[in-house]
Amino acid sequence: MSPSRIAWVVAGMIALFVGVPPFSAAQAAALKGIETGDLDRTADPCNDFYAFANGTWRAKNPIPKGEQRWSRRTAGRETNRRQLRELLQELAAKADRPRGGVEQQLGDYFASCMNGPAFKNEARARRAAICLESTEALLGEPLGRAYAERHFPPAAKAKVQEIVRNLLAVLKDDLGELQWMSETAQQQALAKVAAFEVLVGYPDAWTDTSALVIRRDAFWANVEAARRFSVETDRKRMGESTSRAVWQLPPSSPGAYIDIQLNMMGLPAGFLQEPAFDLAASDAVNYGAIGISLAHDLTHAIDALGRDFDSTGQPRNWWTKADFDAFQNVGQCTVDQYDGYEIEPGVHLDGKQVLGEALGDLAGVRLAYRALERSMQSHPVPEIDGFSPEQQFFIAWGQFRGAAESLELQRQMVKSDPHPTAKYRVIGPLSNAPEFQQAFGCKAGAALVRPPEKRCGIW
């Protein structure tokens, strides 16, 4: 029996003792694991994990003409746009929906745009793209509501909220173990983490838009009406304190955001789709994808970026000079590590330039792994497709963050981008993780195994 299989059986036995039902064979088969078709099984994960995790996908999905980067995340954005166009086209096909309802407003607005005089000379596909952007800009919440009903059920929202709670819990524990940060700064950091808010999927309460009049035959009148409705909604908020409950992106958006001053982040339903999150996937896969990404961003609230605002959003540097100096001193290990990575002979990454993002990835892997361990105490994860939960976690990171990047783009990134190139975003933090070494049985001296005395860490 393989070690991963033993781990699954033991987890099931523990679950029985603590009252948590173990996975049945049928339940395990229903869960999705990593994308096995993306793997390059000829590559050794201990020496070329990037190729192992996503090499076949990159070989089969070359960078499209006119682009410099292509990834599952980029493809996911295109899927999001396609889903929204199909949704609006379906709604627009029916002209007799009840007035004032979300479906009527969306369908008639989109129809008025598609048939409007402003776009008569546009090709239909181009016009559909323009009309989608117009609908999302002016009717973002109604569109997000309709999108979420189809693509982000309440169970998905609850699962992401559970992941967030576990990440915040392990970050709090982690702060109590820090050696380099002063006790005063630790207390401020804990206050920020306790106050941090994550908006998931869509608003808890939808805005009533029934008074908004949208006509099927009057595009510019619809634009004016939608703008006036938005202005009136904003006017009603005047005099109130800035609310973190107000979304800065519509729920349909494939993007996400973090607001350092407001100490919060927003994760629209359109963002919480594959490859970032999949309700049908195992927890190990989701923690390895969205979990690491969220943990990365959470640390920005308390790192050299977040130190300029306190837990109430007031501009106040709560680090002492000693804290900053200690941060720089501990971070030098990561600077040296990334200085050693090259994209072509003689062209290296700039460790100081990418330090903030590299530390975020390093912390993201560590914190998300610990959060997964916390989760598996009550929700054990089975072996899937021959991969243990730990292996699923690390491979999911390689498949979520992996991307095909042109050499020209990489050369530009080395000069000015605060992010490492895709390959080093994946393998850089993993080479510091003894859990990775254990999961894949890597021996000392392998490329993905940094000697214990050279392992970097900060959070």
- Predicted confidence at residue 23, as pLDDT, reads 55
Which structure tokens are listed for 362? 């390093």
Q: Average pLDDT over the chain, rounded to whole? A: 93
Q: Give kind and range of the element (H or E) at residue 344.
A: strand 342-344
Range 65-80 average pLDDT: 97
| Concatenated DSSP letters of 381-428 | ---BTTB-HHHHHHHHHHHHH--EE-HHHHHHHHHH-SSPPHHHHHHH
Q: One-letter amino acid identity for 75?
A: A
Is 50 exceeded by the pLDDT of residue 6? no
- Sequence ranges of the chain with CATH classification 3.40.390.10: 3-62+153-203+247-454
pLDDT single digits (tens) 230-274: 999 888 888 777 678 899 999 999 999 999 999 999 999 999 999
**CATH topology (fold) of 3-62+153-203+247-454:** Collagenase (Catalytic Domain) (3.40.390)
Using pLDDT thresholds of 50, 70 and 90, give the confidence band for residue 43. very high
Q: What are all long-range contacts of 125-134, with beta carbons under 8 Å and residues at least 24 apart?
A: 128/85, 128/89, 129/81, 129/85, 131/88, 132/81, 132/84, 132/85, 132/88, 134/109, 134/223
Parallel, antiparallel or unpaired: strands 342-344 and 69-70? unpaired
End-to-end Cα spacing for the chain? 36
- Predicted confidence at residue 121, as pLDDT, reads 81
Which structure tokens are listed for 400? 């979520």
Q: How far apart are CA 302 and CA 440, in angstroms?
A: 32
- Predicted confidence at residue 459, as pLDDT, reads 87
- Predicted confidence at residue 234, as pLDDT, reads 86
- Predicted confidence at residue 305, as pLDDT, reads 93
Angle at 375 between CA 372 and CA 376, to 5 degrees: 85
pLDDT single digits (tens) 117-176: 666 687 889 999 999 999 999 999 999 999 999 999 999 999 999 999 999 999 999 999
How far is CA 219 from each of CA 209, 223, 354, rounded to the nearest angstrom?
18, 6, 46
